[in-house]
Structure 1
């Protein structure tokens, strides 16, 4: 019998832990069981105590101190250690029934999702074999990225890279929508939810001026901030990234306000559809008191 879960991931500061806490609270409000797994070895505070915490196996702080590694190298070491001791993760998950939604709270270093094969190997282990977890990734991108359009397309490219790397169903989410409320018109916001490359052409803050275009024809110091972050070359790079995203046509976003029950419910419905949660649930028998009331009427 299948189990069901979601990997909550995305860049640092995207609101993953906040989303996990709000999602768990939403599930509890709807009398639905969940199993919370923290896979961030650097996490320190939780709104809900994890049912399974990687820090009981290994912590990033200890690895950095004992192995003299930086945060990124230490994180990769933690996951390599986890892969060598998978029983720590798989044994408790064996006991989880199909009524539960398993919520995996992941670290914020996107190298895990886009550069190294550790996480794809972990996903394959969880989705196959005796565990057989139907999973999808919930990839969060902060909604404030839409204020800086090149930054938004860079974040969208990281989401697409994770989709290609992990080869699993994805639900991409623009989190913290409350922070941009009133800043973007609804019609324009829809162009971010289904990324439109033309947004870069129309960006009033990034248009290349005639003087910059003329200057670009001559020599420019490649190390200068102006050359790297502005000008014709930077503009062409952003357009190429946006066009690549459009060519693949893989990424679209859902809106999320973690404080809004309706918003959480909508995102959860997409996750449930991706993992086919409701299709496998057995019909529930009506409660005895409900039957007694019906007969009395």
Structure 2
């Protein structure tokens, strides 16, 4: 029988036949692509904030955000300066045709002198384990990152000398019924009287209904901040407030002065973007 190969038939290949160079190139490209995808996935898990794949609305995400703020207040303890008002920002795009909104809530905290890293590390250790909280150093300073679940991100970043802002953020979501802060203010706390005392010594009339921000603590208690945005002008001085403090100041910088009493923490913030006076009671 002739060994000639018939026209139209591929020559037989055995186990020892060499792999064509094109096949080797495709194999190498496939391996490289798989490694790249694995690297990108690992980087995303480590660095990226949660995304909103399930498209839960602000009204559905609001209770989780409120609980997360309570966890932050409890973890920060006496370092808490104030709870800042919730922010709902509309205008982000879910799709080219659908508009959404972002809900964020923040807690301001103060570090001891040269104690910024210790503050954030302690916070990360005390937050729920499944948040996977961690602290790292970036070119812009220390950062705390955590995942509160259901695509809600928690971050901590510098907000002035020895101050940090801990923020809970939903990312862009459908608005739904919107966000309403839980009504935990049925009974006024000591923070109202402390704010009134601070305004009195500064020579400013007390507000009848100061702005109130609350958070339910993990133990069932309620943390509260009352704040006055009254323009204090030249009356925003430290000297009249000092006698109200129990012990020395908690914070004393060019833009902020904070002190504690037996019942609350009082903050005088004179920064240009948000001057105000606030009094806060925290979780027990």
Q: Determine which structure has more spread, i.e. the larger CA radius of gyration.
A: 2
> RCO greater where, 1 or 2, for CA within 8 Å and sep 6 or more?
1
TM-score normalised by the chain length of structure 1: 0.24
Name the structure with the higher helix share.
1
Name the structure with the higher strand share.
2
